[in-house]
Amino acid sequence: MEKPAYLLRPVGIVKSERKEPSLVCRDQDLDHDQENSTGQRWPEAISEIIFEEDYGECLEGLEDFSHIMVIYWSHKAGEEARNIKKVHPAGKKDYPLKGVFCTRSPARPNPVCVTTAELLERKGNVLFIKGLDAIDGSPVIDIKPHLPPYDTPAHMKLPDWMQSLIEQFSRESKQRK
């Protein structure tokens, strides 16, 4: 049976100092490419999303929210990344291989990524945001306001390896400050 194709139209584009992804596909897995790192971790990075003029009205009232969810296409994830089935989470080889659908990896059949970021300011059809992990030129597919009652379930379950990874990133972030 033939799989249907769907047409996605970007609503905007990311403008960022980060030009290349720091997490890349190598040898059917993820790896951190230190050369592509700007030295600034994405949680602190300030980016812009420049929306097509046609979508300016769609942004009205968004500045009343503190955080938004940005859905974007990881445009530099090549065909190899789209065929990977398992990865070491966050490219960390000390964690076991896991299926891509239980990670936030950009390596997946459709490289759609979602990040909740802080909305700093809106100027017309441009949003200034903090904490977006997209790189310069990433097509933005959609945005939504972050709504804690709906987007943060009260009773979440995380596997031990994910909890460990979150704690490791938190420690690393605190050490840099």
Residues of the domain holding 71: 12-148+157-176
Mean pLDDT of 103-120: 92
Number of independent structural domains in the chain:
1
**Residue 105 belongs to domain with CATH number:** 2.40.30.70
| Dist CA 88 CA 79 (whole Å) | 18
Q: How far apart are CA 127 and CA 144, in angstroms?
A: 13
Low-confidence winner among 40-44, 109-113, 147-151 (lowest mean pLDDT): 40-44
User: Does residue 3 form part of some domain?
Assistant: no
State pTM to two decimals.
0.85
What is the per-residue pLDDT for 15? 97
Contact 67, 145 (CB under 8 A): yes
Residue 1 belongs to some domain of the structure: no
Domain membership of residue 4 (yes or no) is: no
Residue whose C-alpha is closest to residue 75's, from 24, 39, 30, 111: 111
Q: Which residue has the tokens 């905007």?
A: 12
CA 53 – CA 144 distance, rounded (Å): 18
Contact between residue 127 and residue 63 where contact means Cβ atoms under 8 Å apart = no
What percent of the chain has a predicted confidence (pLDDT) above 90? 50
